Amino acid sequence: MTKSTSAGTLAPGFNSLGLDDRLLQSLTTLGYEEPTPVQREAIPMLISGVDVLGQAATGTGKTAAFALPILQSLATNERMREPMALILVPTRELAMQVAEAVHKYGKPLGAVALPIYGGAPIETQLRALKRGVDIVVATPGRALDHIRRKTLKLGGLKIVVLDEADEMLDMGFAEDLEAILEATPSERQTALFSATMAPKVSAIAAKYLRHPKTIRIAVDVKVSGVAPKVRQVAYIVPRAHKMAALGRVLDIEQPTSAMVFCRTRTEVDALTETLNASGYRAAALHGGLNQQQRDRVMKAFRANTTDLLVATDVAARGIDVEHVSHVVNYDVPSAPDSYVHRIGRTGRAGREGVAITLAEPREHRMLRNIESATKQKITISAVPTVADLRTRRLEATRANLREAIVAGDLEAMRGVVESLASEFDVMDVAAAAVKLVVARESGEGDQREIPTAPTRTSAAARPMSGPRYSPKERAERAERAERPDRAERVMRSERPDRPERPARPATKRPRVTSTQEMVRLFIGGGRKLKIRPGDIVGAIANEMNIAGEAIGAIEILDRHSLVDVPSTIADEVVTVLRGTTIKGKKLLVRRDLASQPRK
């Protein structure tokens, strides 16, 4: 969504969609101006009560497309203690973000949205459900767990939304989704949104949607719009650390002039204020500025008296400034064509430019969509470390010293150096001076490392193109890998209290990369509980917010299972899986006693 032209007027683009005035005012307060294509089509359909089957890429505004109609129904119907809407999403990160968005949109209504997902204390969720909630946003595994406990009551449910359905199915949640949908009232309204309409998505839609209206949001990107001399790089950063990562990247890149893009006016204002407080010269450009303010901002930016122009896509339309060295996507663009338009503002007039994108872990898929549409590689890099920043500052200090020496006019300083040189080695004097300069330029946050977010690539600084396996393919390959020597492994499984490492099957096991160190984990459930590789892939991928392809070989035996995971996250996987369920049961999870870390 884009932003409003005035905080005091209702968002005109949403007025025609049949929304309650309180919701319109909420959108205006949040800085939204006009609906995206998927919102323009889906909102009236969902308000009318029909089922909707929507195909739209991640980041096109799907959350508001289904959240606003749900809130509209809440505004026009009697409130009950039981939830009136259930939104199913693939990951806990998305569950939290959708619940937060619903809360923001529905604040004037007093809407209560509860995210429920594995890895969080179930007691807190139980208390919230008992008090009563309007909307539940859940991952399939934890939703089914609550349904079986009878703590998530579905009797008053009016609408079910499956968001990013293809990803949930890829993660092995097909059976869970069907079990949940079977437990919901038959007269419910259903909406399914997916980036692709693969056969498995179409099958579940045909089974559970009643005469749905179909929405398809096409992506049309002209490859020629991408500047050929633009270096494109992305950093996968946890949401809470995006500002720190932006500052670190700016300090490393040292842009001469940069444009930073955000989605909404509210984000532009907040980020501009934070940047200025951190010592950068930043100015905001958005639809809330009048023409005189806009002209003043652009004049300062063109004159290089402002280093950073923080803007929204709508406000930045028509801007033509040749000297922009960097474009930063503080938020991943909602569509590939927006990405192309943004980064096309650098690398002009024969100059080389840099396009930087800060993506949250779940937005990695959006980057792949952009890369596929533009036929341009986006390199995934690690966020610069404290050591990287120190090295960069030392290089800058050395360059500044060279310029000062060449410029001369150092006579006034020679007396200080000569007096110290009589007492100390002249090299120590110079080194101390450099140390003081670097220390003066260092900020308070320089000593803090920025956490590395789980990525959907197996190595940093790797182009996103290349062979990939979907979670389903990973599960199928794992099932094929377990078939040889099956009888021998069944004999071993008769001693679950003292598991031994099974002999390696002759079939080559699937791997993440040839150099990734893996650790084998023991899970206390196998074929007798009807556990399949897809169940384990789905549980780990969902709870850890990583792609299934990051998971190694899986071996399912009668009474237990073995799975290889990257050693860097092995302990966290153990902790998270102990707090969640697989096939509705809590299972023993630990490192396999017979395994050793291996490449």
Round to whole Å and give the CA distance between 36 and 358: 22
Maximum Cα–Cα distance for the chain, whole Å?
92
Residue type at position 22:
R
Question: From first to last of its 599 residues, what are the pLDDT tens digits of the chain?
Answer: 443 333 344 445 788 898 999 999 998 888 787 888 899 999 999 999 999 999 987 667 889 999 999 999 998 888 887 899 999 998 887 888 899 999 999 999 999 999 998 877 888 899 999 999 999 999 999 999 999 999 999 999 999 999 989 889 888 899 999 999 999 999 999 999 998 888 899 999 999 999 999 999 865 444 444 445 788 999 998 888 888 889 889 888 888 889 999 988 888 998 999 898 888 899 998 877 877 888 888 888 988 888 899 988 767 765 667 778 899 999 888 777 778 878 888 876 567 889 999 998 878 878 888 888 888 889 888 888 877 777 777 777 777 777 778 777 787 787 788 888 888 887 887 888 777 776 666 554 455 677 666 544 433 334 443 344 454 454 554 444 434 333 333 333 333 443 443 443 333 333 344 345 788 888 988 888 888 888 888 888 877 777 667 788 888 887 888 888 888 888 888 888 888 888 878 888 888 765 544 44
What single DSSP character describes residue 92? H
**CATH 3.40.50.300, applies to 223-384:** yes
Asked if 221 contacts 189 with a C-beta cutoff of 8 angstroms, the reply is no
Distance of CA 129 to the CA centre of its chain: 27
Residue type, 177: L
How crowded is the C-beta side of 294, counted as CA atoms within 13 Å? Answer: 16
Residue extents of the structural domains in the chain = 12-216, 223-384, 387-445, 469-591
| Domain covering 469-591 assigned CATH 3.20.20.70 in the classification | no
Task: Report whether CATH 3.30.70.20 matches the domain 12-216.
Answer: no
Q: Determine contact, residues 128/103, Cβ cutoff 8 Å.
A: no
12-216 and 223-384, same CATH topology? yes
pLDDT for position 7: 37
pLDDT in tens, 44-99: 999 999 999 999 876 678 899 999 999 999 988 888 878 999 999 988 878 888 99
Strands 353-359 and 230-236: parallel
* φ and ψ at residue 423, rounded to 5 degrees: -110, -30
The tokens for 433 are: 């001076």
* pLDDT at site 346: 83
Going by the DSSP 8-state scheme, the letter that residue 109 receives in this structure is G
Distance CA 1, CA 61 (A): 6
pLDDT tens readout for residues 487-515: 333 333 333 443 443 443 333 333 344 34
d(CA 562, CA 486): 14
